[in-house]
Homo-oligomer: A and B are copies of this chain.
Amino acid sequence: MPLTFAPRLDNVETSAIRELFKLLGKPGIISFAGGFPDSAMFDVEGLREASQKALAEEPGGALQYGATEGYEPLRAQLAAFMQAKGVAGLAPQELIVTTGSQQALDLLGKTLVGPGDKVIVEGPTFLATIQCFRLYGADLVSAPVDADGVQVDRLEQLMAEHKPKFVYLIPTFGNPSGAMLSPERRKRVLELAVKYQTLIVEDDPYGDLYFGEAPPPSLLALTPQVPGSREWVAHCGSLSKVLSPGLRVGWMIAQPELLAKATMCKQFSDAHTSTFAQATAAQYLKAGRMPATLANVRRVYAERAQAMGAALQRDLGDAVAFTQPQGGLFFWARLTGAGGKVRDAGEFAKRAIEHGVAFVPGAPFFARDADVSTFRLSFATADVARIEEGVGRLAKAI
């Protein structure tokens, strides 16, 4: 007799992307497939010093069990970090530390979603969000996205129609869309939150990775402009894309009751986030190295995004359509079919692998009504020369 698993597992499928990733081991392949930052840009020396300080100054704090809410010095540093990004007066107790922002999503699912509950996400949205919420029984509804982010009129219709448990958005340099929600739409989203008394989950792992001027303030930072909206925003942040994913340090800011319930759930999920990683992150932030680190990653990713955009235009012409991203890690593109070229991104991905270049087709990023002509290219981990070579291979594959 085999084991029988919980019914919730029937709601998720093994990722189609995983199959593709297995092919990435092929020698000489140029990968635009990943969703991660470039290891070469990690501030290893800064993290080394921070971890040493953590062990030297408070070994008990760094190695013992800690509070589920998070290591106090890190909560204080993160509150200051968020204040510097326009969240005025944020107190350390208004945030909890999570094991990456992935855990914040998991805790939101665990805390809020019961079987059959509706949740609105962007179409397309972060793949692991879709599966994460479905594991708790969520019935996902997709709100369409354009270059200015989620389409707010459509979002309002969907909110009115579905009365969702919450709305999940990546307003700034979304994964995979790369889109940036416009200031006008940000304000409108907050108004909808108040009007429909509906929680907006703002996932913001990419907001610090801007190439030109800074993006508009986060939804959280804008709440003072929309009376009553603050309690309807839960904000998830992360050090993964800007400092190091390996620390698994994320955070969630939310109204007190939600934060208390999420903390209780976290207690039974992993007790607390590694205090060693938390104390290291706290020392790193305290040492004041973050501004230089951010300036460096912004500069390097901006160059790569620039190179990828130019190469795509030069080598693929009107066979693909895309908006040049202003930050983040991704191009989101669409096969136009112009000149009788391939229109199915899954087919294109297979051909691309044969030509020695990998990327991720867009379909799995849609909770519903997948657009199979879309695909995602990451410019984060290849240098400019490899980007140009890789896009050249794409041109051959198309």
Contacts and interface: CB of A to CB of B under 8 A. Distances in A.
A57 to B, nearest CB: 11
A290 to B, nearest CB: 15
A112 B280 CA distance: 35
A388 to B, nearest CB: 24
A263 to B, nearest CB: 11
Contact of A39 (B4, B64, B136, B273): B64
Nearest to A71: B246
Contact of A248 (B37, B136, B255, B272): B272
A113 B9 CA distance: 10
A197 B1 contact: yes
Interface stretch (A25-33, A41-49, A309-317): A41-49
Nearest to A104: B270
Contact of A103 (B64, B113, B258, B270): B270
A268 B102 contact: yes
A244 B112 contact: no
Contact of A8 (B14, B110, B240, B267): B110
Interface in A21-75: 36-37, 39, 42, 44, 47-48, 51-52, 55, 59-66
Give the one of A99, A117, A276, A280 with max B CB within 10 A. A276
User: Chain A, interface size: which category?
Assistant: 35 or more
Nearest to A129: B268
A394 interface: no
A269 interface: yes
A199 to B, nearest CB: 6
Interface string A61-96: 111111000000000000000000000000000000
B276 A6 contact: no
Interface string A266-292: 011111111111011000000000000
Contacts of A339: none
A132 interface: yes
Given A3-B257, A4-B165, A9-B111, 5 more contacts: A5-B111, A12-B268, A42-B63, A99-B248, A276-B277
